[in-house]
């Protein structure tokens, strides 16, 4: 089996895990809720403004910090966002374990008795 086939198979297996399914559903739930998706869009605008200020070397005013912090609290209080964050964390833990196993396979590869021609 070539590496591309193995990668596709791994991708299919990952897509069947509870971690991926919960993350995928939570993402859909956020995107389908007009109020929450609108809040997320406004949050991205805040984040873009912060990034702009950092690039320009500007300091955020206390008023802006307070406004941003309060808005962030509103966003994080939404059940859909809490679910998305929790499912994203679980999915990332799964992907970290997968990456660790791939790294382990790479470390063990040179000592393997299996001969492959790539």
Asked whether the beta carbons of 87 and 21 are under 8 A apart, the reply is no
Name all domains of the chain by residue range, CATH numbers in brackets. 3-111 (1.20.1500.10)
Per-residue pLDDT of the chain (118 residues; tens, 9 = 90+): 789 999 999 999 999 999 999 999 999 999 999 999 999 999 999 999 999 999 999 999 999 999 999 999 999 999 999 999 999 999 999 999 999 999 999 998 877 666 555 5
Question: Per the confidence metrics, is the pTM higher than 0.95?
Answer: no
**How many alpha carbons fall within 13 Å on the CB side of residue 96?**
6
* CA-CA-CA-CA torsion sign (46, 39, 78, 30): negative
Buried b (16+ CB within 10 A) or exposed e, 29-59: bbeebeebeebbeebeeeeeeeeeeeeeeee
What is residue 114's predicted lDDT score, i.e. its pLDDT? 61
What is residue 111's predicted lDDT score, i.e. its pLDDT? 75
DSSP-derived letter for residue 110 is G
């Amino acid at each position: 089996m070539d590496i591309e086939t193995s990668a596709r198979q791994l991708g299919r297996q990952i897509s069947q895990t509870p971690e991926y399914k919960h993350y995928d559903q939570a993402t859909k739930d956020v995107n389908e809720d007009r109020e929450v998706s609108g809040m997320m869009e406004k949050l991205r605008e805040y984040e873009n403004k912060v990034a702009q200020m950092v690039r320009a070397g500007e300091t955020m005013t206390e008023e802006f910090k307070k406004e941003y912090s309060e808005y962030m609290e509103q966003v994080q209080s939404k059940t859909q966002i809490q679910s998305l964050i929790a499912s994203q964390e679980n999915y990332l833990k799964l992907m970290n374990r997968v990456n660790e196993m791939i790294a382990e396979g790479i470390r063990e590869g040179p000592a393997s008795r299996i001969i492959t021609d790539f």
